[in-house]
Chains A and B, each alone.
Chain A
Amino acid sequence: MLDSKSIELTYFDGHNAKSHLVHAYFKESMLHIEGDGINRVVAIAEVDWPERQRHGQRQASLPNAGLLTHHDSVAWDAWVATARGESLVVSWQQSWSKTLLAMFLVVGFVAAGWQWGIPLLARGVVHFVPAEIEQQIGRESLKQIQDIGLLPSQLPLVQQQKISQDFNAAIAVAYPSQQVPHTLHFLRSGKWPIGPNAFALPGGDVVLTDELVELLHDSPETVTAILAHEYGHVIHKHSLQLAAEGTLSSALVGLMLGDVSSWVASVPIMLQQMAYSRDLEREADEESIKVMHANRISTEVMVLFFERIKKQSQRHNAEDETLSISFSSHPADAERIARFRAAAKSNR
Chain B
Amino acid sequence: MSQNNDDTGMTREGLAADNSADGQPPGVQDEALYRRTVQIEFAGTGSEYFRIWIVNVLLIIGTVGLYWPFAKARRLRYMHGNTFIDGHALGFHGDPWKMFRGFLLVAAMGLVYGASSRSLAGAVVAPILIGLLWPALWRASLQFRLANTSWRGLRFQFMGSLSNAYRAMLPLVLPWLLMIVTAAFLNNTHEMGDTVSAGMMTSYAVSSIVFGLMLPYGFYCIKNYQHSNYGYAQEQTRFLQGAKPFYVVGLKVFGLVLLMLLMLGAVLGGLFALGNAPGVLGFVLSLSYLVALSVVAAFFQTRLQNLVWSATETKSVKLNSDLEFRKYFGLTLRNWLLTALSLGLYRPFAVIAAAKMRLEAIQIDLPANIDDWVSAGASMQDASGEAAGDFFGVDVGL
Q: Interface on A for B, CB 8 Å cutoff?
A: 11-19, 48, 50-51, 53-59, 61, 65-67, 69, 71, 89, 92-94, 96, 99, 102-103, 105-106, 109, 133, 136, 139-140, 143, 256-260, 262-264, 267
Contacts and interface: CB of A to CB of B under 8 A. Distances in A.
Contacts of B233: 17
B212 interface: no
Given A99-B55, A103-B54, A59 B81 contact: yes
Given A14-B153, A56-B43, A260-B290, 10 more contacts: A17-B372, A17-B373, A18-B371, A19-B371, A93-B51, A103-B345, A257-B340, A259-B339, A260-B336, A263-B336
B52 interface: yes
Nearest to B59: A89
Given A50-B81, A55-B45, A59-B89, A14 B51 contact: no
Given A258-B339, A260-B339, A140 B88 contact: no
25 contacts: A11-B153, A12-B152, A14-B154, A15-B374, A16-B153, A16-B373, A51-B74, A53-B81, A54-B48, A57-B84, A57-B88, A61-B150, A67-B91, A69-B89, A71-B87, A93-B51, A103-B345, A106-B54, A106-B61, A143-B191, A143-B193, A258-B347, A259-B297, A259-B339, A263-B289
A339 to B, nearest CB: 30
Contacts of B190: 143
Indicate the member of A50, A92, A106 with the most B CB atoms within 10 Å: A106
Contacts of A55: 43-45, 48, 82
Given A67-B150, A139-B191, A257 B74 contact: no
Given A19-B371, A99-B54, A103-B54, A61 B93 contact: yes
B191 A17 contact: no
A128 to B, nearest CB: 12
Contacts of A48: 93
B286 interface: yes
Contacts of B93: 48, 61
Contacts of B153: 11-14, 16-17, 19, 65-67
B54 A17 contact: no
Nearest to A137: B118
B45 A54 contact: yes
Interface string B51-83: 110110111010000000000001001100110
Indicate the member of A12, A71, A262 with the most B CB atoms within 10 Å: A12
Interface residues of B, number: 53
Contacts of A258: 339, 344, 347
A99 B345 CA distance: 13
Indicate the member of A99, A102, A259, A264 with the most B CB atoms within 10 Å: A259
Contact of B89 (A13, A17, A57, A94): A57
Contacts, number: 139
A51 B70 CA distance: 13
Contact of B54 (A50, A102, A133, A259): A102
A264 B190 CA distance: 32
B78 A56 contact: yes
Interface of B: 43-45, 48, 50-52, 54-55, 57-59, 61, 74, 77-78, 81-82, 84, 87-89, 91, 93, 118, 150, 152-155, 190-191, 193, 233, 286, 289-290, 293, 297, 335-336, 339-340, 343-345, 347, 370-375
A106 B55 CA distance: 9
A59 B375 contact: no
Contacts of A259: 297, 335-336, 339
A106 B343 CA distance: 12
B152 to A, nearest CB: 5
Contacts of A94: 51
Contacts of B58: 102, 105-106, 109
A127 B39 CA distance: 58
Contact of A99 (B50, B87, B152, B370): B50
Nearest to A132: B118
Nearest to A16: B374
Contacts of A257: 339-340, 343-344, 347
A93 B91 contact: no
B294 to A, nearest CB: 9
A59 B89 CA distance: 9
A93 B51 CA distance: 5
A93 B347 CA distance: 17
Contacts of A93: 51-52, 55
Nearest to B58: A102
A12 B89 CA distance: 13
Contacts of B286: 263-264, 267
A92 B74 CA distance: 14
A113 to B, nearest CB: 9
Contacts of B374: 15-17
Contacts of A15: 154, 374-375
Contacts of A139: 191
A67 B345 CA distance: 35
A219 B206 CA distance: 55
Contact of B154 (A17, A51, A89, A260): A17
A119 B374 CA distance: 59
Q: Kindly list the 7 A-B residue pairs having the minimum CB-CB distance in the complex, ordered from nearest.
A: A12-B153, A57-B89, A256-B344, A56-B81, A18-B371, A67-B153, A17-B373
B297 to A, nearest CB: 8
B95 to A, nearest CB: 9
Contacts of A109: 58, 61
A271 B77 CA distance: 39
A277 to B, nearest CB: 20
Contacts of A102: 54-55, 57-58
A256 B345 CA distance: 8
A86 to B, nearest CB: 13
Given A106-B61, A263-B293, A19 B55 contact: no
B348 to A, nearest CB: 10
A115 to B, nearest CB: 15
Contacts of B372: 16-18
A53 B91 contact: no
A92 B82 CA distance: 20
B373 A106 contact: no
A259 B96 CA distance: 25
Contacts of B150: 59, 61, 67
A196 B344 CA distance: 41
B89 A96 contact: no
A17 B152 contact: yes
Contacts of B339: 257-260
B165 to A, nearest CB: 27
